[in-house]
A and B are shown apart, each in its own frame.
Chain A
Amino acid sequence: MSDIKSFIGREAPITPYHATEEKLKAFCAAVGAKYRGEAPPTFMAVLLPGMFKLLDEIGIPLSAVLHTDQEYCYKQPILPNDRLTYVTKLVKALEKQSKTGSMKFMVFETSVTASRAGGSDIEVGACKTTIITRD
């Protein structure tokens, strides 16, 4: 595998996600949350597959990944039937060697936009995901 730093700036393709009411309710049920007519706070976790795609391209198996930090910023609520589009980008990457192998540290940022019927696109929020991986 080439130097992890060479992947900084790489983006996953823009991906659509249809946030149906059924998906919002299923997510609420999975985290034991009350459904309040909009996406619960950690719903943008459904967009982690953007990072999974980048990890796959870099050649890192998902099972080697430990999620250490997650941050969400909310600009507008995600509402039922929103069509989300998102772009995930690798913004930081470091590799450290140790006796037991190498450890990588990576930060991904994702910006999320919603389109609604009859309206223009709205920036709903952003995600910052920090992971470490062990070989």
Chain B
Amino acid sequence: MTLTAGTEIPFIRLDPITQPQLRRYADASGDHNAIHLDEEVAKSMGLPGVIAHGMLSAGFLGERALRAVLDEAGRNDLHMTRLQTRFKSMVQLGDQISVGGVVKEATPERVVLDLSAKNQKDEIVTVATAEFSL
């Protein structure tokens, strides 16, 4: 893949979200908010059930960005300088997330990617902008 403005970053479909996965993320990140781990608490807060950490889908997007630039485009000379994520809608257990996007800007010194995470209904759950520089 060559990084030019408009180049598509193919969507990669991930495995469905599971409770052990949220437990693993909670342990690795230190975010033990019960809305991610306990269905009763989640429901008492007016949620449909346990929801995934927003930062989990942000993590998927960060990895998609690195994979596109470092692995697929082979630009090991670039470093991520900024990652901005916005959580648009909730991710529930069983949801199957896909991550991909498009190259927004590309010069020899700087690359900007616009990425999104979508669920199995093609609804956008998280959007991200990742910037890379030399």
Contact = CB atoms under 8 A, between A and B. Distances in A.
Interface string B49-91: 0000111101110110111001000000001111111110000
Classify chain B's interface size.
35 or more
Interface string A42-66: 1001101100000000000011111
A26 interface: yes
Interface in B3-23: 14, 21
A73 B67 CA distance: 19
B33 interface: yes
Interface in A7-61: 23, 26-27, 29-34, 36, 40-42, 45-46, 48-49
Nearest to A129: B55
Contacts of B25: 30-31
A30 B80 CA distance: 20
Contacts of B1: none
A73 B33 contact: no
Closest 5 CB pairs of A and B: A31-B59, A41-B62, A30-B28, A33-B63, A30-B25
21 contacts: A26-B28, A27-B29, A30-B21, A30-B24, A30-B28, A31-B59, A33-B66, A41-B59, A41-B65, A41-B80, A41-B83, A41-B130, A42-B58, A49-B31, A63-B35, A68-B54, A70-B58, A70-B84, A72-B84, A73-B81, A77-B79
